[in-house]
Amino acid sequence: MIFHESRSMNRPNRSKTLRRVMLGSLGLASVLFTSAPQAAKLGEDPIADVIAALSVEQKVGLVMGIGTSYPGMDPSRAPPLVGEAEMPVPGSAGSTASVRRLGIRSLRFADGPAGVRIDPTREAAPGETFHATAFPIASLLASSWDTELVERVGRTMGREARAYGIDVLLAPALNIHRNPLGGRNFEYFSEDPLVAGRMAAAIIRGIQLEGVGASPKHFVANNHEWNRYTIDVRVSQRALREIYLRGFEIAVRESAPWTIMSSYNKLNGAYTAERSDLLNGVLRDDWGFDGIVVTDWFAGASAAAQQNAGNDLLMPGTQVQRTELIEALKDGRLDERVLDRNLTRVLELVLHSNSMRGGRPSNFPKLMLNAPVAREAAAGGMVLLRNESALPLASNRRVAVFGNGGYRTLIGGTGSGDVNEAYAVSLLEGLSGAGYRVHEELAGEYQTYLAAAEATRPPPKRLRLPEPIPEMNLPRRLRGMVDEVDAALLVLSRNSGEFADRELEGDFRLTRDEQRMIAKVSDAFRRKDKPVVVVLNVGGVIETASWREDVDAILLAWQPGQEAGHAIADVLSGREPPTGKLATTFPLAWSDVPSSANFPGRALPVSDPEARGPQGTDPAAEVIYEDDIWVGYRHFVTREADVAYPFGYGLSYTRFAYEDLELSSDEFEGAIDVSVTVTNEGEASGREVVQLYLAAPGENKPARELRAFAKTRTLEPGESETLSFTLTGRDLASFDEAALAWVADAGGYRVQLGASSVDIRQEAEFQLGETKTIEAVSTRISATLRE
């Protein structure tokens, strides 16, 4: 391509005032964007005219952000400004330049999956606060299996984003829980792509209904943190299509996100952000995505390759990228038409944005109204894993609270999934608020211990988690305390976040302190026949098999957001009966998980000279997904391997019966309707998550796969509800690598309605007369699994 004058030079009335500005002046916004009296205006004139009024350098300045005030960022990496850098929202993740002359407003981006992540205070507004609601982590939301609830969470987040002038919320995150040690699993929904995709679609719908764009991330196969900027994930076409891409496909098709975020990692040899087959082929051609692709922050190696691949917007934007793009336009590595195509999409997003449509930030989200949504969502996704008649526990009972997490309840993980909330309710506060009488002497000892430990704890290293505080030695008077209460509540907490995966010892497995605490509390309370209830205040899966028999109940409360203590008390007392089910398997041992043989991967002898990230150059590394499609329950159910708690499992305070499974036909002719009636046969109210699995004929397929799910409304004892589902061709199909198509094999398909992946209550069969190609795809993700 020819590095030419801005096309506006050909337009007589605009050309004179538009000066061609060379690279050296890029930092001078006022020079670069010298006013032109009759320039085209975005929103009034066609986008092509607006683009024609820009110089090449200006165009380049608009397909990338203007830097970031990322907490912990080295300021020397912040690029100089291009265009008019409107004051971004303090603490937000980044923004783009505005060009007032052409009516182009700046786009503002904020994290992240658990709520709007911005600074709670501003230098420019002393005395004012800018908090946002901290919602429960995504793993909890998914465990609700309640898309209506999750959509409401999305709407509430969207309203807060809008109130703060945010155009795009960098959420949801829907990478697959491939392994329990994934450091950001808490930000992700599930091991199953249907659950992940449907949850993502619900939250995206909610956010976008409020006029804010969503940005499902990280596309794709970004399943752990180790060497995240360079890791080469090698995965088969089938596993990609059926497991890792599938959730994104559902989200794109069901909710049309305005943006999507490509990931840091490589996929089969090339950065995802630089793969045209992925971004243009799969995303746009196969799925019809018509939004913009945003890079993850500082992702990939080559800005030109990213632009060529259809990665429209480079975030947060660096000077290095700007220089590279200008050079690439000169030497032909990047065609200006490609740049224009990407810029067109960016400007379409600007046009869509709330601020462009006249929205002005109130900076006043209705936090008081939003807190009940966070509380309801938190209770709705808690999972009762074990209950030997210990729960519900009436809220006038006396309880002894053990474990640091009872007093410092973790409400979410760290990194971009963190939120600056106005307050966080600890379990202690929640219990007291609900009417429980908490053992004060024990609580006092914990508070003193924790305050002292916090005062001497070294500050966390940059971008690292704070050191966990070991569990306190239990009071000598433990036995006496047992007499003074009705039950023990024992909290186990886990934190994790960006930049690091979890550890096997002392994280997936319990610490010695925790083991001792459980043993002692269990012994003391069981002697007196008083129950021990464990609350898991965790972001991901932990080992439970070695100690669960020692306790009477286990409530998986996850990291429940700012209303943590209230929501846990709601579920313990039965004010909100437990209705969540696992969207991720709890294995007996970490090594039982097939991906553990290849987790997180291996460092390669050479370092990757191109790789860069906020931490500098990372070593080259690769991981081979030998577990292929055998992720989570697909493996355990097919191999009939024991687990601690299976996918789809969760207890309630009542019992449900499944009856009258009906299929609309016993021959598949394009679709089949399925219905089943669920009745509450117990003595308490509750809601049931009904799962529809399909056992398909043919070789090398999971014994069953989740193809639909629904949650009943609240059913009082004796009440019933009939739930309906529709199965389409895609539900029957698996991905045929040779045919490059979704193919349904001829034969008998068993429809299995279950209360979990191993608790099938009703079955029926239909036939597919002959093998059918359901949908061909146009893109083969190039490169082989091994090179």
Interaction with ligand BGC in 155-184: which residues (CB under 6 A)?
170
- H-run or E-run covering 449: helix 440-456
The residue assigned the tokens 């929205």 is: 359
Q: Is 297 in the site for ligand BGC (CB under 6 A)?
A: yes
Q: Within a 10 A sphere around the Cβ of 194, how many other Cβ atoms?
A: 20
Minimum CB separation of residue 713 from ligand BGC in Å reads: 35
Q: Are strands 689-695 and 705-711 parallel, antiparallel or unpaired?
A: antiparallel
Minimum CB separation of residue 108 from ligand BGC in Å reads: 12
Q: Which is nearer to ligand BGC, 86 or 296 (CB)?
A: 296
Rounded Cα distance between 490 and 362, Å, is 42
Least Cα distance to 273 among 290, 242, 295, 252 occurs for 295
Interaction with ligand BGC in 208-267: which residues (CB under 6 A)?
217
Our CA angle for 371, 372, 376, nearest 5°, is 120
The residue assigned the tokens 């997904």 is: 625
Minimum CB separation of residue 112 from ligand BGC in Å reads: 5
Query: Which one is catalytic: 296, 312, 501, 507?
Result: 296
Q: 67, 83, 112, 291: which one contacts ligand BGC (CB under 6 A)?
A: 112
Q: Which is nearer to ligand BGC, 296 or 608 (CB)?
A: 296
Q: Which is nearer to ligand BGC, 417 or 754 (CB)?
A: 417
Q: Is 745 in the site for ligand BGC (CB under 6 A)?
A: no
Least Cα distance to 395 among 429, 361, 358, 434 occurs for 434
Minimum CB separation of residue 296 from ligand BGC in Å reads: 5
Minimum CB separation of residue 261 from ligand BGC in Å reads: 7
Question: Per the structure block, which two tokens stand in for 219?
Answer: 């596309």
Q: 84, 86, 192, 296: which one contacts ligand BGC (CB under 6 A)?
A: 296
Least Cα distance to 611 among 296, 74, 77, 231 occurs for 231
Q: Which is nearer to ligand BGC, 321 or 416 (CB)?
A: 416
Size of the site for ligand BGC (CB under 6 A): 9
The residue assigned the tokens 């509800």 is: 721
Can you list the pairs that 95-100 forms with residues at least 24 positions away whose Cβ atoms lie under 8 Å? 95/65, 95/66, 96/62, 96/64, 96/65, 96/66, 96/313, 96/317, 96/346, 96/350, 97/61, 97/62, 97/66, 99/33, 99/54, 99/58, 99/62, 100/33
Minimum CB separation of residue 316 from ligand BGC in Å reads: 8
Rounded Cα distance between 33 and 66, Å, is 15
Q: What is the 3-state secondary structure (H, E, C) of 356-410?
A: CCCCCCCCCCCHHHHHHHHHHHHHHCCEEEEECCCCCCCCCCEEEEECHHHCCCC
Q: Which is nearer to ligand BGC, 265 or 426 (CB)?
A: 265
At residue 324, the 3 state secondary structure works out as: helix
Interaction with ligand BGC in 391-420: which residues (CB under 6 A)?
416
- Is residue 296 part of the annotated active site? The answer reads yes
Minimum CB separation of residue 224 from ligand BGC in Å reads: 12
Q: Which is nearer to ligand BGC, 93 or 378 (CB)?
A: 93
Interaction with ligand BGC in 200-219: which residues (CB under 6 A)?
217
Minimum CB separation of residue 624 from ligand BGC in Å reads: 23
Q: Which is nearer to ligand BGC, 248 or 407 (CB)?
A: 248
Q: Is 731 in the site for ligand BGC (CB under 6 A)?
A: no
Least Cα distance to 279 among 208, 353, 291 occurs for 291
Interaction with ligand BGC in 479-518: which residues (CB under 6 A)?
498
Q: Which is nearer to ligand BGC, 297 or 633 (CB)?
A: 297
Our CA angle for 116, 194, 290, nearest 5°, is 60
Q: Which residues pair with 72 in a beta bridge?
A: none
Fill in the amino acid letter for 717: P
Q: Which is nearer to ligand BGC, 93 or 137 (CB)?
A: 93
Minimum CB separation of residue 68 from ligand BGC in Å reads: 8
Q: Kindly list the distances between the CA atom of residue 293 and the CA atoms of 149, 274, 298, 313, 776, in Å, as whole numbers in the listed order.
A: 28, 11, 14, 6, 24
Q: In this structure, are residues 72 and 322 in contact, taking their beta carbons and an 8 Å threshold?
A: no
Q: Is 111 in the site for ligand BGC (CB under 6 A)?
A: yes
Binding region for ligand BGC (CB under 6 A): 93, 111-112, 170, 217, 296-297, 416, 498
Catalytically active residues, by annotation: 296
